[in-house]
Each structure stands twice: as structure tokens, then as C-alpha cells.
Chain A
Amino acid sequence: MQGDTLYRLSKSGVVSMSVGKQGADGLFATCRNTITDLWLPLIGYLTFFCGLLNLLIDSRAMEKVARFLSPVFHRVFPELRKDHPAYGFMTLNFAANFLGLDSAATPFGLKAMESMQEDNPNKDRATNSQIMFLCLHAAGLTLLPTSIIGYRAAQGAANPADIMIPTIITSFAGTLAALFMVAGRQRINVFNWPVMLSVLGISGLIGGLMAFIGGLSGVSKFHFTDNLSNGMLLTIIGLIVAYAFIKEKYFTEKGTNMFDSFVHGAKDGFTTGLRVLPYMLAMLAALSIFRNSGLMDIVMSGLSWSLALVGVSKEVIDAIPVALMRPFSAGGSPGLHAGCHEDLRPGQHHRAIELPVPRRGGDHLLRGGALLRQCEREGQSLHPGHHAAGRPGVCDHGHLRGAAVLLTRVIAHVAKGSLEARSSRPMASSKIAQRSSKIHGNGVFATAPIKKGEDIVEYKGKMITHAEADALYFGDIDSGHTFLFTLNEDWILDANRGGNVARWINHSCDPNAIAFVHGHESEDLKKDRVIIEALRDIKPGEEITYDYGFEFDIPYTEELKQIWACRCGSPKCIGTMLKPKPVKASKATAKKIATKAKKASVK
């Protein structure tokens, strides 16, 4: 697998070159993560939902659900008696799948299987009902694919909810195919009015939902589906508890109460969870080795080549690994799926182009670039004297790609001491105040003298990922009042939440301050901080400004410059907040800079 080349310098002085990224966790990480990320959460879901299921059973609601659905279910699962408890579990399993809540669907599915297994005369052989249920469950009719939308949002999709309609259509087609194929194999006649009425009813529901969602746009789609699915889950939980409360007499008759009934069911769920762990671990560990060995890539390449020969399109071929993984591992397929999103995720360059119109709030992709360049300049000692030890390299972007990372890493180790010294320096935040500004809306002003090099204030805000920023603020072009600041390639400070006075600092072409990202000495990008520092002595009453350094990967049209017009009023004002595009340095200039940097490092 090819990818970006990354150079890293370890403390032992070894430079390692990496190409591409690891496709799956290694064996130990897989074993650990299977427990921590898959099994423990599953135990939690199982415990909770099996507790709820027991409320359904003890309140006799399950019997009613089974009776109500038996005209349909009995025709699809003719082996099961009309009041079989598995009907209730299946209903809840399908409902959870409808809502895209995989985690909630699993406990109900397991309970349905267990319930059918009790009536299975040959314990080593699956019954027709179990096979039918497995196929219908695997087809997974989904109305609200919240998990997939979540993956897409996490990977920075422009509109994560775009997947909805294709998912509904394909999962519906898959479910119908599963129903008819298994019914044909098991010689079950499903062409009768209860089953057909159900199919038509679900089709109508899907059509209505698609029509409604089709009318929504952008973020609204995501918010609607998210709230609808989670709202329905909460409603179901509320209804179960409320029904159990109304029918509390049944609990009394059994010599128990609602809470004890819940706990009894929860214990059952916990036991079920214990039983599934070995299966999960065995399969995921083997898959980890299979993927990381590179053998899976070879198998998939061969498969793709064969399918391409018969005219299958590349889009379909690319999805085959996920489709093949799905029957073997419900945990592994989402991992592959997420991997596909990761591989197909546009790079920073493309993401910048993706923006239809750059906006103040959505500049997080761009302002980060400007800061990075500041760091690089700093690394070359073009801003001497900004740091306690007068040494370059406070900007430690440990994950930059290409040869530049080597330089920043080398310097970062040299500058470690000065970083520690700096973090303990006091801030001049008591010397500033927010007021109305002539530049734009609010501004931040000095209320006392601030000396050159003094740390003025830290730019604070809730830490969010780029994907979250895209999901929250994408399309929010006209608001002009979101405050996002790129901290590094992983994190963004969202000063809309938990922001401080620093978010009001305006841009100027002749700034008296500068924003620096201060990399933490550990490689934990979450610990990086943004500090606004005085570039020169600032008098009381003077507005604090820094250069936003916006830069876009699209041509600077007059319209774009107008959108980003600068109103700083400085004689040096260039009329726009957009930074001029960098011009490639001539060899002579490059040589001069190199010489200057060498001299600075000698000092």
C-alpha cells in the first residue's frame, strides 16, 4: 500500500522512514481492543437491554407483541408456535436495525437466537427459523443509518447524511432478496396477504421517509436522522418502563418488582456477553494477522481483477472487502468500512477546495496552514527573540509529512527546555478587555502596558476534531460568527463553546501580536495550546490584533477578496485578509535563507 512518506527521528538518533499506514491493529492491540472497545461496551449494552427485555417479559408485553405479529411472523417462521417469545425479540432486533442502532440490535438478536435454540431438537444444526432470522438480520433493513452517518461525519464527509437514501434502497432490496430466497429454499409461501401487507406497509413508510428527508438539506438531514433514531430509541425505552409500571401487578404476582426484574434480566445479558467473547476474539485476532500480513490485499486484488474482467465497476469492487467481511465479523466489517472512508477521505488540499465560499467560521482548515507556515519560519529563525531561550522550534508538529518533519523534530528536541520554561510564564490576560472595535464588531484592547514578547492570552475553546467542525459548521457560510482555530492536524479549538476573550481579537495587516501553536513535549496533539503573544510593546487603549493568515487553495478572485476584505485601517493594509500566495524562492534566495538560518543556529 503506497502513501505519504513520513520521516521520524527517535531520541536514539534513528531516522525511520514510513510509507502508508497500518490497515488494522496488531495482534496485541486487537486482543486488547476487542475487550475494551468491543466486548466491554457490548456487555454494557447487553446488560442494559436484556434488563429491559425482562421487563417486557414479566409485564407480559412480549406475549402481546408476539400475538400481534404472529400473523406475519408465523408465515415467515412457520416452525415457531404462534406465541413464541422469539417474535418479540426479533421485533426489537428489527426495530433497532431500522434505527441504525447496531449495538442495541445485537442483544435482541442474540436473545432471539437463544430463544429459538431452546426449541431446536438438534442443537448442532440451525433450524430453518434461525436461518431465516439470520438472513433477515444480516440484510439489515435500515431506515436511519446512524452508524454509517457517524463514520462519514468522523471522516469529514461534506454531507454525512447523503448515504441515507442509497442505504434505505439497498437494505430494503437486500431484505426482500433474503426473504424471497430463503423462503424459496425452505419452501415457505410468503405470497399471502399478511406478509405482502407488511412489505407494502414498510415500502410506504420508506417512501414517505425518503420523500421527507429528500426535502431536507445539508446539516438538517444529519440532525433530523440523528434525533429521530435516538428519539425513537428513548421512546421505546420509556414505553417499556411505562407499560411495566402500569402492569406492575404481574410483577407482584411473580413475587418480584420492576427493579428486581430488570436486574434479573441484566444478569442474563451479562452471561450472554461472557459467552460471545471467545468467538469475537478468535475471529478478530485471525483477521488482524490476515490483514496486516498483506495477504488480504492480495486476495482482494485477485478478486477485483476477476470481477473487473466481467465488467463489474470499480465502485462495486472497492466495496467487496466490506461485503465479504460482513458475514464473518460484525465487528470487523465496520472496521473495514471505516478504513474505506479513511482511504477515500480528501486531503487537506481538497477539503479547502471543497468549501463553496470561504467563511470566517469555516476557516479552520486554512488558518491552520497559516500557523504551520509561521512555525516553519520560526524553525528557520526568521522570528528570533520570541522564546525564552531565543531558540527556534516551539512549534512541534510531530506528524507533518515529508522531509520538513525531520527538521521540526530535530529542533523540537533542542528547544524542549525553553518550552517548559515558557509554559510557566504568566499571561497578561488581566491587562486586556473586550470592547467594541472600529475594525469589526468586538475587539480586544490593552488596559495596561504589555511588553514585547509577553504572552497576552491563551486562545481557548472546546476541542473538536476536523470532522466535527465540518459537521457542525459546514454550510454555515453566512453566520460569520463561529470561532474555530486549527490547533493541529487532529484538533480544532471551537471558541463558540468554552471560548474566552481571545476569540474577539481582530485581524490586522500590521499586527501587534501573533498567534503561536505551542506543541506539547509529549506527542499528544491534544495538549497543544495556542498563545497570543505581543510582537511589540502595546500601549493601554491599543487594540490587540494578529494576522489571521488566511490562505486558500483556490484562485483569489475579486469577489473572494471582497468577502475577506480587511478593515484594519493600517497604512500597510493590503485590503484583504487573504495572504498573498507564496512565490517559489529562487536558488539565490534559498541560499541566503539557508545561510541566515545556519548563523542563527550557531548563536
Chain B
Amino acid sequence: MALSRFWTFMLILSIGYVLVMLGMGRQYSLGSLINGKQGEPLVVAEVDSAVLAGSVVPGTVARGG
């Protein structure tokens, strides 16, 4: 019985918590919970590369020298 309760609460609380975090914008994606793999980078933001093309790449070139 104790194990059953523990298992049930673990599932319900975890799912509830993650949905609340998503709603509050503190969780970027739920993909990692379902399809992710251990050790994979946790994506926290995504942008279109066109936004960065003019700034990041030349900056990186200068940095590497």
C-alpha cells in the first residue's frame, strides 16, 4: 500500500509541477521529459539563426585568433 501511494503521488505531483512550471514560463519544453535522453543538453531557448548571423559569427572569428 505504501509503495502504491508513493508511486501514485510521485507521478501526479511531478506532472502537476512540470505543467505549472511550463505555464509560468520557467520550463521551456516538455520534450525532454518524454523524448529526451540522459546527458542530452537541456534546451532553454531557441532563436532563428538569421537574428544572430551578423553578430555571433564574426565575433567568434575574432575571438579564436
Which A positions have Cβ atoms within 8 angstroms of B?
A: 1, 6, 8-9, 13-29, 282-283, 286-290, 292-295, 328, 335, 339, 342, 376-377, 379-380, 403-404, 406-407, 410, 585, 589-594, 597-598
Contact = CB atoms under 8 A, between A and B. Distances in A.
A15 B56 CA distance: 11
Contacts of A287: 10
Nearest to B40: A22
Contact of A29 (B13, B35, B44, B58): B35
B64 A404 contact: yes
B7 A26 contact: no
A328 B18 CA distance: 22
Interface in B9-65: 10-11, 13-15, 17-18, 21, 27, 31-50, 52, 56-65
Contact of B35 (A13, A28, A376, A594): A28
Contacts of A19: 41-42, 44
Contacts of A293: 14-15, 17-18, 21, 33
21 contacts: A9-B49, A14-B47, A14-B49, A15-B47, A17-B44, A19-B42, A22-B38, A28-B34, A29-B36, A289-B14, A289-B18, A292-B33, A293-B17, A328-B3, A328-B6, A407-B61, A410-B49, A591-B62, A593-B64, A593-B65, A598-B61
B64 A379 contact: yes
Given A21-B39, A21-B42, A27 B61 contact: no
Contacts of B35: 26, 28-29
A18 B43 contact: yes
Given A15-B52, A21-B42, A293-B21, 9 more contacts: A15-B46, A22-B41, A23-B38, A25-B36, A29-B36, A289-B10, A289-B14, A293-B33, A407-B61
A286 B11 contact: yes
B61 to A, nearest CB: 5
Given A15-B52, A26-B32, A594 B13 contact: no
A21 B41 contact: yes
Contacts of B49: 9, 13-15, 410
A17 B38 CA distance: 17
Contact of B64 (A13, A15, A339, A380): A380
B46 A22 contact: no
Interface residues of B, number: 43
Contacts of B37: 22, 25-26, 29
A6 B41 contact: yes
Contact of B11 (A289, A403, A589): A289
Contacts of B11: 286, 289-290
B60 A407 contact: yes
Contacts of B31: 26
A594 B65 contact: yes
Nearest to B65: A593
Nearest to B6: A328
Residue from B10, B40, B43, B52 with most neighbouring chain A CB atoms (10 Å): B10
A589 B47 contact: no
Contacts of A597: 61
Contacts of B32: 22, 26, 292
B65 A14 contact: no
A167 to B, nearest CB: 25
B40 A21 contact: yes
A13 B50 contact: yes
Contacts of B14: 286, 289-290, 293, 295
A15 B53 CA distance: 10
